[in-house]
Structure 1
Amino acid sequence: MNTYSSVKTSLFIHRIMVYSLLIAGSVLFILPLLWMLSTSLKGDVGLFDLPPKWVPEPFQWDNYVKAVQSFPFLRYTYNTLFLTFVSMFGTVLSSSLVAYAFAKLRWPGRNVWFVILLATMMLPPQVTMIPVFVLFKKLNWIDTYLPLTVPYFFGGAFYIFLLRQFFMTIPKELSEAAKIDGCKEIMIYAKIFLPLSKPALATLAIFTFMGTWNDFLGPLIYLNDPDKFTLALGLRSFQMQYGTRWNVMMAASIIVMLPTIVLFLSCQKYFIEGITLTGIKG
C-alpha cells in the first residue's frame, strides 16, 4: 500500500512539474503579444511608463482606425490575399502530385531522386537568392507577381516530404482495388489519396498561408510598384513614416498578424493531426 501511495505521489509531483513548465513557457511566449495588444490600445501618453501599465484606461480603439487609414490597407490586403491563395493552390497541387509519385509509383532511381530532393533542404536560400533574381530578371518578371507565385507550382522539398510520408500510411490495397476496377493513376490520386489526406493537405495549406502572408523578403526583392506591395511591405513603409507612434504601429501589426492567428486556432486540429500522422511511417 505504501509503495502504491509513493508511486502515486511521484506521478502527481511529476505532473505538477510538467504543467508548471508548460504554463511558464506559454506565459513567456504570449507576453510579447499581450504587450503589443496593450500598447495598441494606449494613447500617446504612458507608452513607456515604468512599471508598465498592462490595462490601459481608457481603451484607444481609434488607434486601429488610424492604422488602417495611414496606408493603403485594403489594396495591400487584396494583393496579399491574391498571392497567398495562388501560392496555396500551387503548393498543394504540385507537392501532392510529386509526393504521390515518390510514395506509390515504381520507377527507376526513385529513392535516389528522393534523397537528392531532401538534400536541397540543406541549401540555404541566401545561396540561391542572387542566381534566382538574375534568372527572373532575364525573364522580365521583376515588378510582377510571377516570381512570388510560379515557384510554388514546382513543389517544395519539405512539403513533398511531408505528403510523401502521409501517402505511405495509406494502405496499398486501396489503390490495388481501384486498379482492378479500371482506375488510372490520376484517378486514384484524385479520388482516393486526396480525400484521405485532408489533414496533411490542411497542414500544407496552413504552412503556405503563414509563409506567404508574412513574407517580407520576396516582395521586397521583386516588387517596385507601391500599388503591388503586400501587407508586410506596407507595414515596413508605415514603420518608416510613423515609427515613433508606437501605439498606432502596434495596432497595425496586430491587424496584419490577426489572420494567421485566427487561421491557426481554427485549423489547429487538422494541423496537429497532419504533423502527427506524417511521422508514422518512413
Structure 2
Amino acid sequence: MVYLLLLAGALVMLLPFAYMVGISFSPNAYILPSPAEIIPAHPTLSNYMSAWTDNNFGQAFFNSAIVASSATLLSVLLSATLSFAFARYQFPGRNILFYGMLATMTVPGIVLIIPQFVLASRLGLTNNRLGLIVVYGAGMAFGVYMLKGFFEEIPQELFDAAAIDGCGILRTFWSIALPLARPALAAVTIFSFAANWEEFTWATISTNDASLYTLPVAIQQYYSAHGTNWGIIFAASVLAILPEILVFLVFQRQFVSGLRSGGMKG
C-alpha cells in the first residue's frame, strides 16, 4: 500500500512534466488541448529548432551555464569552509554568527532587492555576469546548515591523528573533511545549482543587456514575443530543465545519504 501511494504521488508530479513535453512536440500548439495529449498525433522538432535559434536562446543558455556553475562552485566552497569552522572550532561569537546566518533564511529575497541593487551598483556588479555570480554565490546559509551537521559527525580522532602527522588546518580540511563529506556536498551542490539556474528576479533587475540574459529571463521574453505559441515556449522550458536533470543524475548516488547525514538529520 505504501509503494502504491508513493507511485500515485510520483505520477501526479510527473504528469504536468509529461504534458509539457508532449505539447513541445506538437505543431502549431497555440491552444492547449483538452483533454491533454501526452503523445501528439504528429510530433515535430520544429519547436525545439525555433526555441534554440530565436531570441538568442543559445546565448542565454551559455550565460546560465557559466553563471550557475560558477556560483554553485563558489557557494559550495564558502559553505564548506564556514561550516567546517563552525563545526570543529570554538571562537568568540560562534553561535551568534551561526544562528544569525540561519536567520537570513527566513528573510524573503524580494525584501533585499533594493539594498542589494544599491550595493551591487556601487561595486560595479550590475549588468554583468560577475554580479550574478557573486550574488548567487553568497546564498550559502542552507549549505552551511547542512554541512555543519555532517562535519560534526566526523570522529575527532581522525583530526587528532592528522594533527599528529603534521597536517595543518587547510590540509586537514582538504584531505580529510572534504572527502568524508562528499554525500553532503553532493546534496548541497544539487540544491545550489537548481536555485542558481532557476533564479529570475535578480537576473531581471540587474541586467538590461539581452546578451547577458539567463534562461529564466529568456523564457519570459519568449512568452512576451510568441504569445500563446505553447509549443515553442514549452520546448524552451524543456531545454532549460535538462541541465538540472543532468546534475541530479550525476550526484544522485550520494544525494539521499547526504540528506540523511547532514544538517537535515534530527
Give the TM-score normalised by structure 1: 0.88
- Which residue identity is paired with 1:236? Q
Residues 195 and 86 (structure 1 numbering): CA distance in 2 closer, same or farther, change over 3 Å?
same
CA-atom RMSD in angstroms: 1.9
Assess if the C-alpha contact under 8 Å between 1:84 and 1:209 holds in 2: yes
Task: Tell me which residue corresponds to 1:217.
Answer: 201
Which of 16, 20, 23 matches 1:36?
20
The answer to whether the aligner puts 1:272 opposite 2:246 as a matched pair is no
- In structure 1, what is the Cα distance between the partners aligned to 2:32 and 2:141? 45
Which of 123, 127, 152 matches 1:168?
152
1:37 shift after superposition: 0.9
Which of 222, 226, 242 matches 1:258?
242
- In structure 1, what is the Cα distance between the partners aligned to 2:77 and 2:254? 18
Q: How many residues align?
A: 266
Task: Tell me which residue corresponds to 1:199.
Answer: 183
Task: Tell me which residue corresponds to 2:122.
Answer: 138
Task: Tell me which residue corresponds to 1:78.
Answer: 62
The answer to whether the aligner puts 1:50 opposite 2:34 as a matched pair is yes
Residues 143-164 of structure 1, C-alpha deviations (whole Å, 9 max, x = no match): 1223312245556211111111
Residues 154 and 165 (structure 1 numbering): CA distance in 2 closer, same or farther, change over 3 Å?
same
Task: Tell me which residue corresponds to 1:108.
Answer: 92
Residues 76-129 of structure 1, C-alpha deviations (whole Å, 9 max, x = no match): 121111101210121121111111110011212322322222222222222222
Assess if the C-alpha contact under 8 Å between 1:47 and 1:247 holds in 2: no
Partner SS state of residue 55, structure 2: coil
Shifted more, 179-188 versus 110-119: the winner is: 110-119
Residues 128-152 of structure 1, C-alpha deviations (whole Å, 9 max, x = no match): 2211111112223221223312245
Shifted more, 143-152 versus 129-138: the winner is: 143-152
- In structure 2, what is the Cα distance between the partners aligned to 1:146 and 1:158? 22
- Which residue identity is paired with 2:156? K
Residues 73 and 273 (structure 1 numbering): CA distance in 2 closer, same or farther, change over 3 Å?
same
- In structure 2, what is the Cα distance between the partners aligned to 1:52 and 1:159? 39
- Which residue identity is paired with 1:123? V
Residues 50 and 100 (structure 1 numbering): CA distance in 2 closer, same or farther, change over 3 Å?
closer
Partner SS state of residue 70, structure 1: helix
- In structure 2, what is the Cα distance between the partners aligned to 1:23 and 1:170? 36
Which of 185, 190, 203 matches 2:169?
185
The answer to whether the aligner puts 1:87 opposite 2:83 as a matched pair is no
Assess if the C-alpha contact under 8 Å between 1:95 and 1:154 holds in 2: no
1:71 shift after superposition: 2.2
Residues 8-49 of structure 1, C-alpha deviations (whole Å, 9 max, x = no match): xxxxxxxx2x22221221111111101101111112269544
Residues 108 and 34 (structure 1 numbering): CA distance in 2 closer, same or farther, change over 3 Å?
same
Identity, in percent, stands at: 36
- In structure 1, what is the Cα distance between the partners aligned to 2:53 and 2:258? 39
- Which residue identity is paired with 1:184? G
The runs of 5 or more residues in structure 2 that have no matched partner are none
The answer to whether the aligner puts 1:245 opposite 2:229 as a matched pair is yes
Give the TM-score normalised by structure 2: 0.93
- In structure 1, what is the Cα distance between the partners aligned to 2:134 and 2:237? 28
Task: Tell me which residue corresponds to 1:123.
Answer: 107
Residues 171-220 of structure 1, C-alpha deviations (whole Å, 9 max, x = no match): 11000111111111111001110111111111121112111111111210
- Which residue identity is paired with 1:104? R
Which structure has the larger Rg? 1
- In structure 1, what is the Cα distance between the partners aligned to 2:146 and 2:56? 37
Task: Tell me which residue corresponds to 1:69.
Answer: 53
Assess if the C-alpha contact under 8 Å between 1:169 and 1:281 holds in 2: no
